[in-house]
A and B are shown apart, each in its own frame.
Chain A
Amino acid sequence: MPTPTKGARLGGSPSHERLMLANLATSLFEHGRITTTEAKAKRLRPLAERLITKSKKGDLHNRREVMKTVRDKDVVHKLFAEIGPFFADRNGGYTRVVKTMPRKGDNAQMAVIELVNEKTATAEAEAARGTKFAKDESAQQSTAGSVGDESVSDETAAGEAAPTTPEVGSESEDENKDQS
């Protein structure tokens, strides 16, 4: 039995749902942030992130795959020229959904879905130092997994005395700073 799609069903038919999600994705990439119902935002998030992943690959095949969903060529160009390269150093989590006050007319749960426009803390640190973390370098250098390479890169990291906070932890620290 196929696994059902996570989240609410939208519209009156599968084709209506596809159209609504495609239009939402187009608007999101066009404007960077859109206000919609929470159910729609939650359905849009995985779709939009898949499209961004395709745009990061950036070849003609992926562009055609994206064109299946986002039919506006200007938006697809923006996605491949600006949005995809911006997220080059972020592995997933390209969008953010924040709940807002319910809508006046029907009290529907509303949310703002936006493209994350900050760089990750690790990416900023790497840009400042001009180097990468030992674990990232070793992962890039040797997918073959030679033990000698890893030990060398570990030594270099120790020499630099680089802060090796994991991505998630450092992001939450940022949030704490902003609150003050």
Chain B
Amino acid sequence: MWHDKLWEHWFWLGLAAASLLWYSTITVYVSIRGALDIRDMLRRLSREE
């Protein structure tokens, strides 16, 4: 049955699903917060000048 094959290698299925989930969530979050980090970093460097 197809669902037997699906769960037969549950470890790799879980890792593949978690990898897709990690990328799709973390990417969005890190993109927003990372942009703010860049703004702050450049602001601090300008102030040093």
A and B associate: no
